[in-house]
Structure formats: structure tokens, C-alpha cells
Structure 1
């Protein structure tokens, strides 16, 4: 009997211990869960976010923002590099004169990546100008376009979208799907459109240009890609801006948004919103091309002193985004400081005073007959070379040429003009004095009318 009671008590004790363990384990699990929830809710336990507090503006996926400390450190590192070490080639040129101002390795044929979309969009805008298609035309996205990777507008098969929206997507976010859809809408196939691209390059005189698709992606099936020299990229950009300046209406946009599809992406241009003058033009990247960019911007003139100046900068083959950013920012920001279209010549200010035989006046002021805005480097001093015609004798009629003036900057002739007298040079003598008085009276009466 005692033995039976002892066994019963042992079983009961074991049962109670198991329950106590289960209760305690459950409580422990509950406490652990509560602690985990508290950790999730507690900001102090979150991963620290990047702090954008550096006084350097940089491009990000959320638009232009201040740099983080890590980004600023990268930028400072590459600022010590030369442009030659940051790029495979670079070019700075003036749009109006198409003069190349700075250059490095610009005649080597380079992979273009998405900068070749400038050829594609040139063809598209030509077709719009011809009336073959309209910006309001609706394009139905086919399967091939919708499946393209890389930079895209995230278009879906059978989606309907306007030609103009496809142009925006091609230029702002470098949409491979968008430019392919445009190409097939115009020509029926990519291959037929590429024929138009190569024809356009030939008409522009781009002898090294070779186009294989509308996007600039490497075609691994044929191991080929779009290419031309950096010099030719400059010519292409100048011609595109000359014939289709409306392209800047798209490339200057900071972002592309489609609320219906919840799409928002910022312009791929790394200098847009960072250098105020920048309003275009196109970026590119593939393994073959490296990071490439064609930048353009306009510096507004000051009336009576300087004229508007549009510059184009091209950089190819940078090994990373920060290298390209530092190189492009340096090239373009320095350019807008170094160059200007300055007013030279004209009759607002006398260039010299000369002696004329038998003149009533001891010295006669002379002026440049012509005036023009001339591109100069602000580091160069402008020098004048004035040559006066020999044996000048009064009288000399208003506006008559009395010599020539040539302007030089950095040792280069930049402007020349005839020298003229702005007012009539009268001969000595009492009678000539009376004639001069009456002529001036009548001239002032005419001016007062």
C-alpha cells in the first residue's frame, strides 16, 4: 500500500514539473516575442540610415540631394585625378561655331551605349517633322519591346502609349523598351529602323558610325554594338540641337512620372539640377562603353556685353558613376567660367584718334565698322592691331573707311573690321566752318523729329 502511494506521488510530481516547464517555456517564448516586437518598434534598434549632410550635391535615385559622408569621400578622392585618368576620351565644344575647345583621344572609335539613342531620336523627330508620324499617335507595345531589360519605362505588352510619351521615356530614363517601340512603330522592325539610323549617320558625315540597334545595348548574338568617335558624337549632338532644339524640352525634365502605373524615376543625367546651365543631353553605360555622357547647357548673355553660349561636353569610358560625375562636373562647370561670347567692335566706342591732313579737328576718332559676339577664353587678353590708311586728307564723308582693325586672343585672330569715321571730317577754312555749322543744325533738326 505504501509502495503504491509512493509511485502515485512520483507520477503526480513529474506531471506538475512538465506543466510548470511548459508554462515557463510558453511565457519565455511570449516574452521573447514581445521583446522582438519592441525591438522592431524601437527606432534605436534600427540600422542607422545614411545621413545626407555634406555640402556637395549629388545625383541619387530619389533626385538631387546632399551627399553622404561616404559619397563625399569618394568624390574628394577622384577630384585629385586628371580628366585623362577619369575617362577614355573627352571633348568640350561650342555649339554655335562647332569649335572644339578641349579634347583628348577623340578620334578613337568608341562604344556609345545609350548615347546612340540620340541617333534613334533624330530619326524619330525627322519623321515627325516630315509628317509621317505625329507626337499624338498611339503605339501599342509589342512583346519584344516589353521584355527588354536594362533601363526601361516598365512598359507592358499590349499597353497603349503616345509617341511623345515614348520620346520622353527614351530621353529622360533611357527607356530601351520605349525607343524600341518607337523604332518598330516607324519601320515595322528593329532591323529596318537600323537602316534609317545608318543612313542618318552617313548624311551627317559620320564615317566611323556603325549602328546595330535602336537602344545601344550590346548585341551578344552578333558580338557587336553601336559605335562612333567622340568627335562624331559632338557633330551628332550639334546637328540634333540645330534641327530639333525641342529635344531639350524633354532632356531638361528632372523626372518621369506615370501615376497610373505608379512609375517614378529621375533623369539619368548626373549634372541636371547640379550645374544650373545644364539642360541635356544623354547618358550611356554598357560593359563595352563604360560610363559615358553627353552634356549640354546654355549660359545666358548680358545685353550689350555678352551673348548666350551653349556648350557641349562629352566623356566616354569612365570606370564608375563617381568617376564620370566628377569628370563631367569639372569639365562643364569650368567651361562656363572660362568661356564667353563677348561683344567686340562697333561704333559705340572710339578705338583710336588719328590725324587727318587739312582737317578742322586736330584729332579724328575712328570706330570699327562691324560688331559681333566672339567666343573667347576669359583667361586670354584681347589685343587690337590697328592699321590706318596712308595719306588721309579732309574732307572725308561719314562712314568712309580709313583703315582696318584686327582682334587677337591667345595669339589667334578672332575678329576683323574696317575702321570708319562716324562723323564727316571737314576741311580747314572759314567757308567750310559755316557749311559745317549749317549741316549740324539740319542734322539735329532731323534727329529731333
Structure 2
């Protein structure tokens, strides 16, 4: 009874979600066109979301297989929330097995784990594997596409609309370099994804009669230092596209190009963008994983106080060769009132330097917070009035 009726404050771990690309942080830093052959392009710091270079970055274009960035994101999100697991077996439907283009030649009725299907999608851009995962998570590919578009709206993507889970040509299927960068940044908040996208080669169905050798469609994985993802794309309509990410030290970058004329130019221009950023920038660690950022009260919440903790390191972008003055940490809260659901945005943390916002992260709830019942609220009121100790029980 003591535990049940105690006034103990429960400290809850919260997520710090670095997924917002604030307008005050955006800036076209590069003075030259780093991707002259691309129809559109964008280069940004994954840690802060600051844009370092952009070219027609909001132009809606067919994305081809870069579509799978959103498919991977929804799968990673579902695994993180416990809806599915890597070991789940997936039975392949006739529809999934019918996909053309890049594929691992799945057969109707074949069973393959989420792990292997995800690897096939991430490494060799398998269209059949992407649809199989979409059907497993959404029931049907059509329902999964609704989930994709819902997620796009949640992320504030203004120039994105999906019609399928794999990027095969379809009317009204489009996105932009900027929107892809936002999706990619969100996907990278699940660090395990690069265990798949960073693979250069692997096998499926090993030691069976139908082994399949996977080779990454992004050859820069092998040749560019620090690159570990994310997704290539090509159709005759979209031309050559790439959403690439590379990390050196604490600095992780995302480079997106769309509409490149050939693979050689696509790779050259992505390398040019990344080289520019690595040569001109470094990063400063602001918070380590596990650091306590704040403790706040939730109106009528059960529990009524929560502790906000960094679930991953937070870094600030620093331009090399420039003296940097001190910075200010600023918390901006939404109205904090129970109930609060997992995934709800509670506010944001800003890093302000010389009056300018140089980094911004969303603060997101990692769990459910119930609304306190009348009895709990009454006890809290009495505690506030009489300054009762936290371990007082119901027989006071």
C-alpha cells in the first residue's frame, strides 16, 4: 500500500528527437554550385539540421527508389515501438512477388524474416522486399502508403506524396531533395539502420538451394570514408538519385541529389558536397547520451514530474577557422497537460549564439503519462498545503 499511495515523484526518460529543420537555422552556406548537373540538391548537418548548400531543394520530382527511405523509416519506427520484431517471419504475397525492377525474386508463399527483407531493401533496393514489409506492417500496400503520407504530413513535408512503397513509376508520386533530407534525418535517429544501409555485400538464403548475393547499389559505401548509407534511386523519369550520409568524428552529414544524368556524375557531386562540408565544418558536443536536460511538472499528470534525458548525443555545428563565442541553451515548452502520449512533442531545445538559433531539437515523450484521478490530485493538493513528505501513505 505504501508504494501504491506514495507521493514519490517518478522520473521518466524522455526522447530528445533532433528532427526539426527550423527556418532560422537554414542557410545556403556554400558560395558555389556543388552539384551543377543535378536538377535539385541539398546538403545538411544531420545533428542540427543546418542547410549548408541547396539547389532547387523544394522542387517536387519523382524519387525512384529513394522512396524506400520512408519505407525504412516506418519499419524502424514499428520495431522501436514493439509492433513488430526483426525475427518476425513474413509470408510473401502474390502482389509482393510480382514486383519488377530490382528484386530478390521472392516467390508467393515464401517466408522470410523482417531482418532479411529489410537487408534486401536497404542493400540491393529490392522492390519485392519493400512491398512485403509494407504489407506486413500495413496489412496492404495501399494502407501502408496511407501511413507513409501520414508520416510525411507529421514531418511537415510540403512537397511529398507517395503512391507505393518502393518508388516504381506511378502518377502523383513525388518528393523533393529537402523532404528526402528530412526523412533521412529522421531515419538516422534510429542508429541501427546504418548496420543495414552501410553493408556493401551480404547473402540471403545462404546454405539453401536459392542463395542470393546482395551488393549495395551505393558504391560509395565502399570507397568514401565514413559513408554508411542511405539510398540510391533510378528510373528513366527520375534519372539518377542518391540520399547519402557519412560520419567522421561527431559530424554526420546528409547529401541528396536528384535528376543526375548518370551514376558517375551522381557520385562525383555527392562526394563534392560531402568534401566541402567535412573540410569547412566540425562539431561540438553539447550533451552526451543520458545527460539530464530538464525536470518539469505536468499539469494533472500521473506522475506529475518528468525528467527529460538525452537519448542520443547532441552536437552543435562549428565552422572551422572562426572564433566562436559562448552559446545559450533555451527551452521552449508547449502546454504541458496530461494525458501525454508516447511520441507527443513537448517542446524544443534551442542553442542560441550571438542572438541566432544555431541548433534546435524537438523534445518528445518516450512514454504514456496518464491524467491523475481525483484522489491523486487531492493528495497532491494536501501535500502542497501541509508540505507532507513524499513517503506519506494513505493512512496519514
TM-score category, normalised to shorter length: 0.5 to 0.7
Partner of residue 262, structure 1? 211
Structure 1 residue 328 and structure 2 residue 270: aligned?
Answer: yes
Superposition pairs for residues 88-99 of structure 1, below 5 Å? 88-99=39-50
Question: For each residue in 1:245-302, what CA deviation from the matched residue of structure 2 results, as whole angstroms up to 9, or x when unmatched?
Answer: 21111111111312322311311113102111111111111122111101111111xx
Cα pair 1:173 1:256 within 8 Å, conserved: no
SS in 2 for 1:298: strand
Q: Structure 1: how far apart are the matches of 2:138 and 2:353?
A: 52
Residue equivalent to 2:197: 251
Task: Give the drift of 1:234.
Answer: 1.3
- Kept in 1: contact 2:144–2:165 (CA 8 A): yes
- In 2, distance between residues paired with 1:125 and 1:413? 30
Within-5 A mapping of 1:107-126: 107-126=58-77
Which is richer in helix? 1
Which 5+ residue runs of structure 1 have no aligned equivalent?
A: 1-80, 301-307, 345-371, 386-405, 416-449
**Separation in structure 2 between the aligned mates of residue 262 and residue 336 of structure 1, nearest angstrom:** 39
Q: CA deviation at 1:90?
A: 1.3
1:226 maps to 173
Partners of 1:123 and 1:225 lie apart in 2 by 21
Name the CA shift for 1:249/1:225 in 2 (closer, same or farther; >3 Å): farther
Candidates 186, 192, 211, aligned match of 1:239: 186
Taking structure 1 as reference, are residues 337 and 188 closer, same or farther at Cα in structure 2, changes over 3 Å only?
A: same
**Separation of aligned partners in 2, 1:253 and 1:170:** 12
- Displacement of 1:96: 1.1
What is the Cα deviation at residue 188 of structure 1? 2.5
Pick closer, same or farther for the CA change 1:343–1:164 going to 2, 3 Å. Answer: closer
What is the root-mean-square deviation of aligned Cα atoms in Å? 2.6
Separation in 2, partners of 1:97, 1:413: 10
Cα offset for 1:374?
4.2
SS at match of 2:61: strand
Which aligned pairs between 1:19-168 and structure 2 lie closer than 5 A?
83-168=34-119
Quick check: 1:376 aligned with 2:314?
no
Aligned residue in 2 for 1:178: 129
TM-score normalised per structure 1: 0.57
Contact 2:42 2:177 in 1 (8 A): yes
How far did residue 127 of structure 1 move?
2.1
Higher relative contact order (CA 8 A, sep 6+): 2
TM-score, structure 2 length as denominator? 0.64
Matched with 2:280 is 338
Q: 1:143 to 1:376 in 2, by over 3 A?
A: same
Aligned residues of 1:291 and 1:316 also touching (Cα < 8 A): yes
Larger radius of gyration: 1
Off by >6 Å, runs of 4+ in structure 1: 411-415
Q: Is the CA contact (8 Å cut-off) linking 1:94 and 1:310 kept in structure 2? A: yes
